[in-house]
A and B are shown apart, each in its own frame.
Chain A
Amino acid sequence: MACASTSGSSSSTESCVLAVLEGHRDRVWHVCWANAGDTIATCGGDRAIKLWRKTTQGDRKYQCVETLEKTHTKTIRRCGFSRCDSMLASVSFDATTCVWERPRGEQQHELLVTLEGHESEIKDLCWSQDGELLATCGRDKSIWIWLKEIDDQFECLDVLQGHTQDVKSVLFVPGTRALLSGSYDNTVRVWNEHDDEWVCTQTLDGAYQGHESTVWGLCCDAEGSRVLSCDAEGMILLWRVVRGDTEIALELVSRNMVPTKAALYSVDWSPSGLIATGMADNSISLLQAEKAEGSPEDPGASRQVLKLVKEIRGAHDGDVNCVRFNPKDPGVLASAGDDEVVKVWDVGALIQ
């Protein structure tokens, strides 16, 4: 498959761009890293998934090594690698989830299975940390939990109903089977598991000082102790994960507004603690969770707020739909935009 690969160019912010990945023929909705940090997968409106790898010639270039297409019949909204990177799942507006597998020793992915069940567009997916579970969610207001069986088939364990509008995002809390979800109904919900059944134990809405607009994205810090949720009106909420014996719960820590109030489509937390956001005003912001002023005692990060470290205006020539840090190298950030490109950023150079 022929794909282009280029490296960065000049000018102030542009010098922080390690690579511009060109090849998609429509908006890029999502970018994700393999857990090994060596491969980027991207997907979008052209109904294709592209895999990009660092080339050995010159360390600042990525090359498209594979294009998975002609399978999904509508926009591919998101994709994600399983824990050991052997599988890649993709969800689409065509109401299906595809699981792709790269057989041991092989270079190319093969379609392993197509999961059907959702009634309409699927909008997000998340693998559990142990790689056993795959959660998908979408416009039919439901969340499906799939179990990967020993023979690589997938069985639906549970269908979670509760949201009153489309579910935009799902996230397994690391180290648990508990799930978080964000929705067009303006709520974040917490789902705890007992014997393969998930029960909604918290509905965090406006009455709980939660979101007052669509919740687009969720992410967790490396320890699984703090969560961020971002919304359509530029609000990022910081939550603390309270772990009980069998259940987790979220406790609001702080409400943080980005200055431009632009819709926040994506939020990610790097292993080193830096936070990135992708926004509808073409910008990317880098933030840091810090102790709020005038709060001397800070047991359990209960008084943290988000401080702006760096704003990158015009990061893309269009909405920034997704930002993701390299899990192995927090100094590298990838972003996907409506301008049909993916950019790889040198975070260290950006914040200097």
Chain B
Amino acid sequence: MAAAALDNLNPVVRERENVRRREEVPGLGSLASGAGPGTSAEDERELIDSIEVFEHIRDIADPEHPYSLEQLGVVSHEQIDVDDRGGKIEVRFTPTVAHCSMATLIGLCIRAKIMRVLPPRFKVKVELSKGSHSTEEAVNKQLNDKERVLAALENPNLLDLVNKCLAPTEC
């Protein structure tokens, strides 16, 4: 890692938060994606909530620091709103510094992760939390233009970066 290029040399690192976790069969948890969390098949479909979305994105690796987005305080479950029946997910994230050049890449990682694991019926909005970035409007516009997002994910270099950041979330 090129330490000289870091936007924030000394980020505040947080403890992993103890949010309510779902009962999961060890090793089978990720198989439930797409159909909602699986308990028993006869049960009514369990609603997807902000905790579940948080579970998916908390361990995304920061593009420049050896920490997760949760550890750096970039994402938290309070910054996620889910309306399961309305099919809406809204994620706000807060870069460690307001001039963070990685903000778009972080947002792209969050979007890619949600696209891969949650049902496509959800309309997803990923935005910087208000006032958290010097070019907030431009970053938000890019992250919510689906054509730009999908094109970015077909760019091999960008996709490689995204996959590296998502790797810790896939174990």
Min Cβ gap A149→B in Å is 31
Assess the A184–B145 pair: CB atoms within 8 A. Answer: yes
Asked if B45 CB lies within 8 Å of chain A CBs, one says: no
Give residues 142-188 of A contacting B (CB, 8 Å).
166, 168, 184
Given known A-B contacts A168-B147, A184-B145, A232-B145, A318 and B154 have beta carbons under 8 A apart: no
Residues of A in contact with B, size category: 20 to 34
Asked if B4 CB lies within 8 Å of chain A CBs, one says: no
User: Which residues of the partner chain A approach B120 to less than 8 Å between Cβ atoms?
Assistant: 317-318, 338-339
Assess the B151–A75 pair: CB atoms within 8 A. Answer: yes
Asked if A214 CB lies within 8 Å of chain B CBs, one says: yes
Asked if A280 CB lies within 8 Å of chain B CBs, one says: yes
User: Which residues of the partner chain A approach B116 to less than 8 Å between Cβ atoms?
Assistant: none
Assess the B145–A93 pair: CB atoms within 8 A. Answer: no
Assess the B154–A280 pair: CB atoms within 8 A. Answer: no
Please, how many angstroms separate the alpha-carbon atoms of A46 and B44 in the complex?
34
Please, how many angstroms separate the alpha-carbon atoms of A77 and B120 in the complex?
20
Asked if A45 CB lies within 8 Å of chain B CBs, one says: yes
Assess the B146–A319 pair: CB atoms within 8 A. Answer: yes
In-complex Cβ contact of A74 among B121, B123, B145, B154 (8 A): B154
Binary contact track A83-121/B, C-beta < 8 Å → 1, others 0: 000000000010000000000000000000000000001
User: Which residues of the partner chain A approach B146 to less than 8 Å between Cβ atoms?
Assistant: 280, 319
Give residues 119-171 of B contacting A (CB, 8 Å).
120-121, 123, 141, 145-148, 150-151, 154
Number of interface residues of B (CB under 8 A): 11
Minimal Cβ-Cβ distance residue in A for B154: A74
Give residues 41-60 of A contacting B (CB, 8 Å).
45
In-complex Cβ contact of B151 among A139, A214, A232, A281 (8 A): A139
Please, how many angstroms separate the alpha-carbon atoms of A139 and B151 in the complex?
10
Assess the A93–B123 pair: CB atoms within 8 A. Answer: no
Binary contact track A59-79/B, C-beta < 8 Å → 1, others 0: 000000000000000110100
Given known A-B contacts A280-B123, A318-B120, A338-B120, A121 and B151 have beta carbons under 8 A apart: yes
User: Which residues of the partner chain B approach A93 to less than 8 Å between Cβ atoms?
Assistant: 150-151, 154
User: Which residues of the partner chain A approach B150 to less than 8 Å between Cβ atoms?
Assistant: 45, 75, 93
Give residues 71-115 of B contacting A (CB, 8 Å).
none
Minimal Cβ-Cβ distance residue in B for A123: B147
Given known A-B contacts A75-B150, A93-B154, A214 and B123 have beta carbons under 8 A apart: no
User: Which residues of the partner chain A approach B121 to less than 8 Å between Cβ atoms?
Assistant: 317-318
User: Which residues of the partner chain B approach A166 to less than 8 Å between Cβ atoms?
Assistant: 148
User: Which residues of the partner chain B approach A139 to less than 8 Å between Cβ atoms?
Assistant: 148, 151
Please, how many angstroms separate the alpha-carbon atoms of A253 and B147 in the complex?
29
Binary contact track A280-293/B, C-beta < 8 Å → 1, others 0: 11000000000000
Please, how many angstroms separate the alpha-carbon atoms of A338 and B124 in the complex?
14
Min Cβ gap A79→B in Å is 16
User: Which residues of the partner chain A approach B145 to less than 8 Å between Cβ atoms?
Assistant: 184, 214, 232
Min Cβ gap B122→A in Å is 10
The contact sample of 26 A-B pairs, CB cut-off 8 A, is: A45-B150, A74-B151, A74-B154, A75-B154, A77-B147, A93-B154, A121-B151, A123-B147, A139-B148, A139-B151, A166-B148, A168-B147, A184-B141, A184-B148, A214-B141, A214-B145, A232-B145, A280-B123, A280-B146, A281-B123, A317-B121, A318-B120, A318-B121, A319-B146, A338-B120, A339-B120
Give chain A's interface residues, CB within 8 Å of chain B.
Answer: 45, 74-75, 77, 93, 121, 123, 139, 166, 168, 184, 214, 232, 280-281, 317-319, 338-339
Q: A93-B150, A184-B141 are in contact. List 20 more A-B contacts (CB 8 A).
A: A45-B150, A74-B154, A75-B150, A75-B151, A93-B151, A121-B151, A123-B147, A139-B151, A166-B148, A168-B147, A184-B145, A214-B141, A232-B145, A280-B123, A280-B146, A281-B123, A317-B120, A317-B121, A318-B121, A338-B120
